[in-house]
A and B are shown apart, each in its own frame.
Chain A
């Protein structure tokens, strides 16, 4: 008798547990919006503090090598010839095969010339393509440029008018133009990556 009760008890508990789970699934199916980000069609912008690829303000840099010293993995290579106070730049490269995005190169800079952007896509077929010379690195998008300006202004203690001004020219977020511009930018990037 007990065995039969166990048998049917097992069946009923299996059905109830399955029903419980399916109820949650149904609720999500019916009421909750999908959470999937349709990358690469849409792209969630990282916060402004994001530690992505670097950018160098070459005119400001004084070739002091403090960032290279602060780097725990020695991924920064700097080379410049001094002509009095002017510099003839040979190289300022970051080896992303080593870089761990720890941000220690940023606070040491005495003139605030090196920054991190919210750019992060660097997939490549070529192992040497991961060494970026910051003197020629043009992978920066307009919004990154604005983020850098905002970061610089924030550090200087200036309220953010520059950011707002530079953002004025940009299309309203969410509008059709904005989307078109984004898609065009993504296409251009993809093309650049595959070339």
Chain B
């Protein structure tokens, strides 16, 4: 879609197309098979039968970043791994989403003080959409995060012009009036 992105006026038909695209995107979020530490086990529990993430169309983890929309970073990222996490993120195609799962990834967690080797939150490396704190978060808490991500994805405007600045907001407000 490229050049048309966020370039059309924010009117009813464009919005309808946008919401259709958003619905499609949010109903087929494909996460990446990516486990680092403790949280990965709870992430596996989310894929398993008891919680069954497939109910939201996100249950088939992809083994390669090129096919996936969502990277759940489950576990401590250290200096050696951070380079790889960044590379994996760079390999994903747009639109891509990041969930930071667990305290270590949200902001350092237990390793914040004495961890000479750990990155204090993966948002120092890659932009994060949803933070799910907990050590580790319960599977329900991760699903809560994924549901919130679905909302966020559904809200995204693809073609309609986004209100970027305050002046733009004012203009939209006046137009609505």
Contact = CB atoms under 8 A, between A and B. Distances in A.
Interface string B118-159: 000101000011111111011011111101100110000000
B52 interface: yes
A95 B107 contact: yes
B50 interface: yes
B80 interface: no
B141 A121 contact: yes
Interface string A168-195: 0000000000000000000000100110
Nearest to B123: A127
A36 B135 CA distance: 23
A43 B110 CA distance: 29
Contacts of B121: 97, 127
Contacts of B11: none
Contacts of B108: 97-98
Given A35-B49, A36-B52, A123-B145, A73 B112 contact: yes
A43 B140 contact: yes
B145 A35 contact: no
B50 A37 contact: yes
Nearest to A50: B138
A122 B133 contact: yes
Contacts of B103: 96-100
A189 to B, nearest CB: 9
A121 B144 contact: yes
Contacts of B145: 123
Contacts of B152: 125
B107 A127 contact: yes
Interface in A51-92: 72-74
A40, A98, A123, A193 — which one has the most chain B CB atoms within 10 A of its CB? A123
Interface string B14-26: 0000000000000
**Looking at chain A, what size class is its interface with the partner chain?**
20 to 34
Interface on chain A toward B: helix, strand, loop, or mixed SS? Answer: loop
A151 interface: no
Contacts of A97: 103, 106-109, 112, 121, 131, 133
Given A123-B131, A124-B130, A130-B131, A36 B50 contact: yes
B144 A123 contact: yes
Nearest to B54: A36
B131 A72 contact: no
Given A36-B51, A39-B51, A123 B107 contact: no
B177 interface: no
A120 B137 contact: yes
A137 interface: no
Interface of A: 35-40, 43-44, 46, 72-74, 95-101, 120-127, 129-130, 190, 193-194
Interface of B: 49-52, 55, 103, 106-110, 112-113, 121, 123, 128-135, 137-138, 140-145, 147-148, 151-152
Counting from the closest, the 5 A-B pairs by CB-CB distance are A97-B107, A123-B145, A100-B135, A96-B133, A121-B144
19 contacts: A36-B49, A36-B51, A43-B140, A46-B138, A73-B110, A96-B134, A97-B112, A98-B107, A98-B110, A98-B112, A99-B135, A121-B141, A122-B134, A122-B141, A123-B132, A123-B142, A123-B144, A129-B131, A190-B147
